Structure 1
Amino acid sequence: MQRRLTGLIAGVSALGATVALGGCGSSAGSGDVTLRLVAADYGDSKANSSQKYWEKLSTAYEAKHPGVDIKVSVYSWNEVDAKVKAMVDAGDPPDMAQIGAYADYAAAGQLYSADDLLSIDTQADFVSQLTTAGELNRTQYGMPFASSTRLLFYNKKLFTDAGLTPPETWSQLASDAAALKDRGVKYPYALPLGPEEAQAETMMWLLSGGDGYTDTVGSYRLDSQQNIKTLTWLKDKLVAKGLTGPVAPGKLNRAEAFAAFTRGEVGMLNGHPTLMKAAAAKGVKVGMVPLPGSNGRSKSTMGVADWMMAFKKNGHAEQVGDFLDDVYSEKNVLAFSHEYDLLPVTTSASDAMTLDKDDADLVDFLDELPNAELYPVSQTSWAAVSADIKRQIGAAVSPTGDPAATLGRLQRDASAAENAG
């Protein structure tokens, strides 16, 4: 097995000793080792809990590596980040954590780098922009685990009945939404800027307006003139004209918007792959197109990645790396992606999905991934900035809202958080 062993070799050299490294197919290291993994639950019921996925994977791994025991604890997304933080704060971190962000732990020097853990083949197989997003100071600490991109979803029946075609520009989107409103559609365009995931909807609109959260060197530029224009257009052309439905955008959460779409009450909204299955189960025929932009289809959409990381506190770098090589095998990556309608984080699994006719519905999302922009997750300030956006951005497009003032306030707080970090 080729493995990047930078950290391990440095440690061995400092001791002036040598060790024999185990090869593939054998127990990773000598003696019995228990590895603890804390992971997020991607399921929506007990029947498809991620606990089942991890139990199947770890059981198969343990059968081939009798000296290694894998203990997995799965928590909901509402609590998993806090669970890991509590463990770290108590001085008892898990060996691995699969959660939403890695940068704080990497900046504190608590994580192994990917170089310390993974085989060269595994590390090279990550989709390139996900590798970059997992880097802090040009070293990869965050290993992408799951990803998705966004497309504009539309209700095919509502569009056909109204004689509409899917929009490519903002003006066409507003025109389609007005026609849907005239026909009594409850949510012509669902704009979820509620506290659940406002940072996502906001980022998609900022990107389609030609800007985003950060500049080319990663510094925040929330109050750019283009971003102000984008939110002003939303406020004046969609919200003020009653084209976003009966619930104020600042009070509408993504889950509620998705549920309304599956009931046939939404004409258009920005969605990710899991919405396809939910809509199909309710008999809603879905169309999907790239996000409209201010002057044509958006040049970039939002991509989202969740992260795997490994803590150094307990050691076991070789065993952790061997297990993660298995986690990131093409078979296991595809199994997870299929179970939860997510995009693979490796090139080999992405290529396999592209060629599989059973995955045809996901190809459009895969096609968007090379040009997708991710949250600025390498910024240790991102968690605080994201929370501020969730709390404040909905007010910016309200009838009494002021997009420039809201974005200016968010920018000042983001700059302060960035400088403090």
Structure 2
Amino acid sequence: MGVGRFGVQGRSRGRRRTGAMAAVSALGLTAALGGCGLTGGSDDVTLRLVAADYGDSESNGSQKYWDKLVTAYEAEHPGVTVDVTVYSWNDVDAKVKKMVDAGKAPDMAQIGAYADYAAQGLLYRADDLLSIPVQADFVAQFADAGRVRDVQYGIPFASSTRLLFYNKTLFEKAGISAPTTWKELAADAEALKAQGVKTPYALPLGAEEAQAETMQWLLSGGGGYTDSDLGTYSIDSSENVATLDWLKDNLVGKDLTGPVAPGELNRADAFAAFAAGDVGMLNGHPSLMQMAKKKGVKFGMVPMPGIDGPSKVSMGVADWMMAFKENGHADEVGDFLDFVYDKQNVLDFSREYDLLPVTNSASTVMTAAKQDADLKPFLERLPLSELYPVGRTSWAEVSADIKKRIGSTVTSGGSPSAILGGLQSTATRAESAE
């Protein structure tokens, strides 16, 4: 994998301590991301990577992906061994934290958040590791989201965005079409309810991923978690209050969100219900396509409706790669990561797990390729996506509080204004502690 992929090319590594040059074969047989002979006859190096599992079964677990990639890399880089350990998403962040706390940080970690480690001074800067072409290839908003105080430490690894999924069969029976505005969405939900649909619109504000569903709705209402101009939290903005008031009054209050209270409904359960044919509409990411197809559900996908038309901004999510300084090995780590972000490797990973690539080169290929036609609507929304404020160390605390409290905003006795005000206080307090 990767032999001769880029033809003949050489690159200066002068910004690294050793100033090593990537070895180049005149025949272009070993030029895939350069780096052959980087160890220069020094002692063999073993790099440790801890990664998250994106597979949904033993047959497509991420360990298999990494094993194949590492085998290809090691074949071209004698003297460098890469040891990859994959954990489930339920465990991987805690596993890495335990290693770091014990003074045994891995060389690299591919997990959900990086800001705390960057704030502690534990991570290499991205430009200490990656070649300039690789850095320049990242989709801009993901590279920007990897910054803490204007320095990039988080290296985007995989991404996703959201679209509104709707059950075509249920819509046809109700004689309705996909909504483009909130008013149309509410009317469609009413029509679906009249046809006996169990959950016209699934609103998962449960603890699993409430911050995602909430952000998608806030963005569609012209708000969000932060003020893009001021760079501060704006959780209790008038736009956000109005959005949650609308949800409470027009969907939840009219019994259009199903038998499970939104604050108790998790994303996984909502997805499963859609795949079972019990949900008319919900916000979903690419993995829901495969779930629905396997169950024979005919579905359509459209941009999230907004107040006056399709939302101009979609919620984006990225997972992160980072490199710890504890063990050194900046040159070897950087060279391996250049290989990881080779266009074909990014394509292979994205296609295996129905994820969106974080590089422009892979996005361009997938947008045009017939085999990726299902993902095209997501790829088209990707440049319009906004991410969580992951570069703030305060975000972990704020996100946890949102998961805990946001579901109560849409209950019959809930007060969006009061609860968002409390969340804003949490954010302000957490910000001041940074």
CA distance in 2, matches of 1:382, 1:3: 37
How many Å separate the matches in 2 of 1:389 and 1:336? Answer: 31
- Alignment pair present for 1:211 and 2:223: yes
- Alignment-derived partner of residue 120 in structure 1: 132
Q: Distance in 2 between the 1:156 and 1:84 partners?
A: 43
1:2 to 11, 17, 21: 11
**2:400 counterpart SS class:** helix
Residue 91, structure 1, aligned to residue 103, structure 2: yes
Match of 2:61 among 43, 46, 49: 49
Contact 1:4 1:118 in 2 (8 A): no
Q: CA deviation at 1:4?
A: 5.5
Given the alignment, which residue of 148, 159, 163 partners 1:136?
Answer: 148
Q: Which amino acid aligns with 2:330?
A: A
Residues 160-210 of structure 1 deviation map (CA, whole Å, 9 limit, x = unaligned): 111101001001000000000010001100000000000000000000000
Q: How far is the alpha carbon of 1:27 from its aligned partner? A: 3.0
User: Partner of 1:307 in structure 2?
Assistant: 320
| Alignment of 1:169 onto 2:181 | yes
- 2:87 maps to 1:78: no
**Matching of residue 230 in structure 1 with residue 239 in structure 2:** no
Distance 2:385 2:227 in 1: 15
Q: CA deviation at 1:354?
A: 1.1
Structure 1 residue 28 displacement after superposition: 2.6
| 2:12–2:20 Cα contact (<8 Å) kept | no
Structure 2 letter corresponding to 1:78: N
Count of equivalent residues: 412
* CA distance in 2: counterparts of 1:362 and 1:383, whole angstroms: 29
Change (3 A) 1:212 1:3: farther
* Conservation of the 8 A alpha-carbon contact between 1:27 and 1:68: no
Is the Cα contact below 8 Å between 2:11 and 2:21 reproduced in 1? no
Q: CA deviation at 1:64?
A: 1.0
In the aligned structure 2, how far is the partner of 1:81 from the partner of 1:45?
20
Is the CA contact 2:50–2:96 (under 8 Å) kept in the aligned structure 1?
yes
Read off the aligned partner of 2:98 and give its amino acid letter. A
**Are 2:43 and 2:79, in contact at CA under 8 Å, matched by a contact in 1?**
yes
State the AA in 2 paired with 1:262: A
**From 256, 280, 305, the counterpart of 2:269:** 256
Where 2:429 maps in the other structure, the secondary structure is helix
The normalised TM-score by structure 2 is 0.93
Q: Identify which of 396, 402, 406 aligns with 1:383.
A: 396
Q: The residue matched to 1:193 in structure 2 has which SS? A: coil
Instruction: Establish whether residue 288 from structure 1 lines up as the match of residue 301 from structure 2.
Output: yes
Taking the aligned partners of 1:416 and 1:3, their CA distance within structure 2 comes to: 45
Aligned AA (2:231): G
Could you tell me which residue of structure 1 aligns to residue 204 of structure 2?
192
Q: Provide the aligned C-alpha RMSD in A.
A: 1.1
2:368 aligned partner: 355
Q: Secondary structure at the match of 1:307?
A: strand
Question: In 2, distance between residues paired with 1:178 and 1:219?
Answer: 38
- 1:111 is matched with 123
1:59 corresponds to which residue? Answer: 71
Q: In 2, are the aligned partners of 1:188 and 1:266 still within 8 Å (CA)? A: yes
For 1:27, the equivalent position in structure 2 comes to 37
Q: Which residue of 2 aligns with 1:409?
A: 422
Q: Equivalent pairs: percent with the same residue?
A: 67
Secondary structure of 2:98's aligned partner: helix
1:234-249 matches, within 5 Å, as 234-249=247-262
Match of 1:333 in 2: 346
The amino acid of 1:122's aligned partner reads V
Question: Measured at CA, do residues 115 and 3 of structure 1 come closer, stay the same or move farther in structure 2, by a change above 3 Å?
Answer: farther
Amino acid at match of 2:194: D
Answer yes or no: is the 8 Å Cα contact 2:128–2:330 preserved in 1.
yes
SS in 1 for 2:160: strand
Q: Secondary structure at the match of 1:343?
A: coil
**Correspondence 1:155 to 2:167:** yes
Map Cα deviations across residues 362-402 of structure 1 (whole Å, 9 max, x no partner): 11101101110000000011011000000000011111111
Partner of 1:16: none
Q: Please state if 1:398 is matched with 2:416.
A: no
SS at match of 1:299: coil
Structure 1 gap ranges (5+): 13-18
| Distance in 2 separating the partners of 1:258 and 1:384 | 26
Output one character per residue of 1:76-117: Cα deviation in whole Å (capped at 9) or x when no partner.
111111111111111110000000111111111111111101
Q: One-letter code of the match for 1:292?
A: P
Q: Deviations over 1:6-26 (max 9, x none)?
A: 3x34xx6xxxxxx65453252
TM value normalised by structure 1: 0.96
SS of corresponding position for 1:72: strand
DSSP 3-state at the match of 2:158: strand
